[in-house]
Structure 1
């Protein structure tokens, strides 16, 4: 009787162990609040906001992909997976030298732009997947592509307001490209750099006041207090003028409202793509009334720009550590005496 009881206990323990293993295998890998994936029974399940995707083992890794957004090229380049790309939209906005070379050689095809995609060419390239931000006005085009057996994967990384969560998308790309270990290592390296830089910034003795963005028409679109820009400024140990705001989107203000808050501003960042302070005044003479225009420093994101392509919106999407490093160099130059700005440039 006793051996039977021991056998029953062993059997129940084994079943419990199996259930636990199955549960563990199904636990989601969180990229952000918007994106996650799970692996279960040989199927990769991806949730990207309201969209869900399911890929069997024999469908992965992808060997041929198309990018409809230049910002996603940064993840591909960081993984050294440019050879997987067979088509891109609006190649003139892509900064990567490797991708541009492949476009010139005809190994990557131009498949249109955000006004009109060349659906026939896309179908003829037979990609395993297309990566794009979701644009509702193109839903009919997406449906046509799906009806022709093409996976359209929507990843709206631009909505992410936590810099490291935006970086974390590289883990999903790595999973889909058979470069999971490499992508996780890249993420951990960038995350480690970011945290160390944040700790370095905390040692600064001063906390300067910062203004961001610029006027369009009669409206100044400032980053909300919970946006990625606000996070960068805070992590670089500076005081953003809308620090206490709770918006994750742009906040609209008149020049007079900004002027009333800008008396102590020492740095003005992300001030468009202007080439000089003189050019800024030709766009809007009212800027000359700001104390920061006359006594402070102004920075734009044109440090790595070629014609229509700007690497701040490409590799900068992934390399949150380098973006933070730029801001620390701007606000606290004494902390990084030998570092040269990567994405930013001071206006003269």
Structure 2
């Protein structure tokens, strides 16, 4: 009998351990190199760059939030969580029709802009959390908000250089809004689309050479070779003129330096928000010396633009698959014969 009793005790102990594990699950989700998320017993820990956040189970999901950056509205729209937004800064830069409609109805309040936030209005709205990029010059404002019990969450998604890692922030928002399954499903859908498009691009017979961005004054600010733009170009199976560069930020060059590299360029992308080549030339006559200006194709990011709002910087932040699809359509139109550009537009 004794061996049976011992077996029963061991079995009960193991069962108790399993039950305890179920009560206290621990899961770490790596959103990107900049952001990690860990959930334990319903509590959520977030590490975002140099900032850490711990949210208790009774604090989530958030019901009232404020956005201080238009780029974050893209994640909100993809999760159909616009009803959670009670305030936004610089609403003129937000493209979302739903958010604009809620602004007109007074359901969402204008809380200022990056020159000056309306702290009194923010405090009166009593949000569960404010989402923003960290701007050092506003540290005093952030401290004032925190001292009044308002949670300020810094998410610097603009620093992400791998397109799908930028998309993955939707999983973080899903966790905080109680929309986990919807967020994961949306991410997996975009990831699948992206990888299928990347594979499609490899079927192209040619790999064209590409130039990006434009000049400001006498300086050309080109995306570094490890930036998101460079990654998109590579994934679209094209040859970026700075592909061997190792920078994750803009690289400054003179026109002469760009000219020396641009002889074989066939496509010029992200060339600002110009309305025509004539207008572009009026702002910078030296462009006429470039072969791509005279014989190639130039594309601007104004396919979805309304006044000051541009959806490339909103939904385009999340929909990396559609951005990649645009670039593939530009570089290899034969691979997507029926597709119409979403965010890009050819300059005439």
For 1:265 and 1:13, how far apart are their aligned partners in 2? 66
Moved more, 51-60 or 256-265: 51-60
Paired residues for 1:127-276 under 5 Å: 127-276=127-276
* Alignment correspondent of 2:283: 283
Match of 2:306 in 1: 306
Q: Partners in 1 of 2:259 and 2:23 — Cα distance?
A: 59
| 3-state secondary structure, aligned to 1:27 | strand
Which 5+ residue runs of structure 2 have no aligned equivalent? none
Structure 2 SS opposite 1:101: helix
Aligned pairs for 1:57-72 within 5 A: 57-72=57-72
Alpha-carbon offset, residue 6 of structure 1? 3.4
CA distance in 2, matches of 1:215, 1:306: 24
Give the TM-score normalised by the residue count of structure 2: 0.96
> Aligned with 2:107: secondary structure?
coil
> Is the aligned partner of 1:106 residue 2:106?
yes
TM-score (norm 1): 0.96
Distance 2:254 2:9 in 1: 75
Which ranges of 4 or more aligned residues in structure 1 deviate by more than 6 Å?
18-23
The farther-off stretch of 328-337 and 2-11 is 2-11
Alignment of 1:13-32 (within 5 A): 13=14, 25-32=25-32
Ranges in structure 1 where 5+ consecutive residues have no aligned partner = none
TM-superposed deviation, 1:103: 0.7
Distance in 2 (CA, whole Å) between partners of 1:309 and 1:173 is 22
Alpha-carbon distance, 1:39 to partner: 1.1
Tell me the distance in 1 between the aligned counterparts of 2:107 and 2:19.
Answer: 47
Report the CA distance between 1:27 and its aligned residue. Answer: 3.4
Give, in whole Å, the separation in 2 of the partners of 1:125 and 1:132: 17
Alpha-carbon distance change, 6 to 119 in structure 1, aligned in 2, over 3 angstroms: same
Offset at 1:18? Answer: 6.8
Query: What is aligned with 1:126?
Result: 126
Structure 2: how far apart are the matches of 1:120 and 1:249?
Answer: 36
Give a deviation string over 1:225-251, Cα, whole Å, max 9, x none: 110000100000000001111111111
What secondary structure is seen at the aligned counterpart in 2 of 1:282?
helix
Instruction: Note the 1:80-91 alignment, pairs <5 A.
Output: 80-91=80-91
Matches within 5 A, 1:10-49: 10=11, 13=14, 25-49=25-49
Counterpart position of 1:320: 320
Counterpart check, 1:2 vs 2:8: no
- Partner of 1:28: helix, strand, or coil? strand
Following TM superposition, by how much is the alpha carbon of 1:199 offset from its aligned partner in structure 2, in angstroms? 0.6
Question: How big is the shift at 1:253?
Answer: 1.0
- CA deviation map 1:289-328 (0-9, x unaligned): 0000000000000000001000000000000000000000
CA distance in 1, matches of 2:147, 2:128: 14
